[in-house]
């Protein structure tokens, strides 16, 4: 039952946290702990000062912590403790880690066995002995870590799930509580410790919402109803502090409007606050290199970022873009050139492309 799972997990967290406080050496083989504020992960016995409880996350091992974006501690060297000495097995771990980070389908045990020149059954035995879990369990741990990392960075639950290479959200939800130790929703950060200002303006493509954090423009959305756009924004950044728009912000909004109405007319150099997983950022970066008036297919885009098998994950990353037009996901079309969906309405996508082609 859900309740049992949740409380089991709270108990597990408490038990692990106690072991961390006691610097319990026996726990070194069971898990590592990571500190969100420093980005570093440690063995439970690490002599360094204890972090605050609320900043701690537990991972099954060093590779799972690294998949979630944490770096090894220079004092207790947790990576050395857990990385298998066997080169072949370490290579298998890296291959799985790489696939999960890129939101690609992880290689099967049979494929891995061919690469390391072992029989599949021999690989299974060696892997289990070195890592302490099966290849499947290991891949699962990496994916869960990746979901947690994406949620930590403010991704929506759906986006976080696809960013970890799951083929459907159902797959993830079936094990979400067990993997995360809490309902996925509680993991989201929703703009904590962030300050945002936002405005609704009218442009030729409809209602336009622009929001800015202390780092730069953090949301651009188009729609028919300003109220709906605001409701979406406030849901995404419900924990952020909202402030009155300032004068220089109004100036930036004007730049955004002229960029939307005459795309590519002038180069735009606004600071952007782009939030997403490493994979999403790679996709969004590649989008920014597509020239106005040009289009590209998801498959081509996947090839361009060096993840040729990840067309589906690339499409999801495009769909997760929250900076309309400035991160030009409207320039991605189907393989046959037809228009696929657009978060802000496929008619707007058509109109944007038409305006760019007329230039």
**Cβ neighbours of residue 178 closer than 8 Å, sequence gap 6 or more:** 5, 9
**Which residue from 73, 88, 164, 256 is in contact with Zn ion, where contact means CB under 5 A?**
73
Q: Mapping DSSP to helix (H, G, I), strand (E, B) and coil, where does residue 222 land?
A: strand
SS3 355: helix
Nearer to Zn ion, 42 or 180 (CB): 42
Q: CB of 72: closest distance to Zn ion in angstroms?
A: 8
Contact 98, 88 (CB under 8 A): no
Among 20, 27, 67, 76, binds Zn ion (CB under 5 A): 76
The CB-of-44 to Zn ion minimum distance in angstroms stands at: 9
**Count of residues touching Zn ion (by CB under 5 A):** 6
Among 68-76, 187-195, 220-228, 265-273, the segment contacting Zn ion (CB under 5 A): 68-76
Nearer to Zn ion, 46 or 314 (CB): 46
Q: What is the DSSP string of 289-326?
A: TSPTT--EEHHHHHHHTT-TT-HHHHHHHHHT--BTTT
Position among 35, 42, 141, 229 found at the interface with Zn ion (CB under 5 A): 42
To Zn ion, the closest distance from the beta carbon of 208 in angstroms equals: 48
Name the segment binding Zn ion (CB under 5 A); options: 65-73, 89-97, 218-226, 293-301.
65-73
Q: Helix 311-319 crosses helix 278-288 at what angle (to 10 degrees)?
A: 80
Residue 207: φ, ψ to 5°: -80, 140
Phi, psi of 323 (to 5 degrees): -120, 80
Distance CA(117)–CA(125), nearest Å, equals: 14
Q: Catalytic residue among 46, 73, 318, 329, which? A: 329
Q: What is the DSSP letter of 104?
A: P
Which residue in 18, 26, 75, 174 binds Zn ion (CB under 5 A)?
75
Q: Which is closer to Zn ion, CB of 78 or CB of 206?
A: 78
Pair 336, 278: CB distance under 8 Å: no
The CB-of-48 to Zn ion minimum distance in angstroms stands at 5
The answer to whether 243 touches 196, Cβ cutoff 8 Å, is: yes
Tracing tokens 């070194």 back to the chain, one arrives at: 28
Q: Which stretch binds Zn ion (CB under 5 A): 46-54, 112-120, 146-154, 254-262?
A: 46-54
For Zn ion, which is the closer residue by CB, 79 or 275?
79
Concerning whether 42 is annotated as a catalytic residue, the answer is: yes
Least distance (Å) between residue 147 CB and Zn ion: 25
Which of 41-49, 93-101, 245-253, 277-285 is the region at the interface with Zn ion (rule: CB under 5 A)?
41-49
- Residue ranges of alpha helices (H) inside the chain are 2-21, 62-67, 78-82, 87-101, 109-115, 120-131, 135-152, 157-163, 169-173, 176-180, 184-187, 226-236, 247-261, 278-288, 298-304, 311-319, 346-358
Closest approach, Cβ 69 to Zn ion, in A, equals 17
**46 contacts Zn ion (rule: CB under 5 A):** yes
Give the active site residues.
42, 329
- Chain positions contacting Zn ion, by CB under 5 A: 42, 46, 48, 73, 75-76
């Amino acid at each position: 039952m859900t309740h049992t799972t949740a409380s089991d997990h709270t108990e597990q967290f408490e038990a692990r946290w106690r072991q961390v406080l006691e610097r319990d050496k026996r726990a070194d083989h069971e898990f590592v702990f990571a500190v969100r504020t420093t980005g570093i992960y440690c063995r439970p016995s690490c002599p360094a000062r204890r972090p605050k409880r609320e900043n701690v996350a537990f991972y099954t091992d060093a590779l799972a912590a690294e998949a979630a974006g944490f770096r090894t501690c220079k004092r207790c060297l947790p990576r050395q403790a857990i990385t298998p000495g066997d080169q072949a097995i370490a290579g298998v771990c890296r291959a799985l880690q790489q696939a999960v980070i890129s939101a690609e389908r992880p290689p099967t045990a049979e494929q891995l066995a061919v690469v390391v020149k072992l029989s599949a059954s021999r690989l299974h035995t060696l892997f289990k002995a070195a890592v302490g879990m099966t290849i499947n369990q290991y891949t699962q741990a990496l994916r869960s870590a990746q979901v947690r990392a994406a949620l930590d960075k403010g991704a929506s639950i759906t986006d976080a799930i696809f960013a970890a290479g799951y083929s459907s959200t159902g797959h993830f939800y079936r094990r979400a509580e067990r993997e995360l130790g809490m309902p996925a929703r509680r993991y989201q950060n929703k703009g904590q410790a962030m300050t945002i200002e936002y405005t609704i303006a009218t442009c030729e493509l409809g209602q336009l919402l622009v929001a800015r954090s202390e780092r730069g423009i953090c949301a651009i959305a188009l729609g028919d109803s300003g109220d709906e756009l605001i409701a979406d924004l406030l849901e995404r950044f419900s924990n952020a502090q909202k402030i009155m728009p300032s004068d220089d912000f109004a100036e930036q909004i004007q730049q955004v409007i002229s960029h939307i109405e005459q795309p590519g007319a002038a180069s735009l150099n606004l600071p952007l606050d782009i939030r997403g997983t490493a994979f999403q950022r790679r996709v969004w970066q590649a989008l920014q290199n597509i020239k106005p008036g040009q289009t590209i297919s998801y498959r081509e885009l996947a090839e361009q970022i060096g993840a040729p098998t990840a067309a589906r994950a690339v499409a999801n990353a495009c769909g997760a873009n929250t900076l309309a037009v400035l991160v030009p996901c409207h320039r991605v079309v189907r393989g046959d050139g037809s228009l696929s969906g657009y978060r802000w309405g496929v008619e707007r996508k058509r109109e944007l492309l038409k305006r760019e082609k007329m230039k």
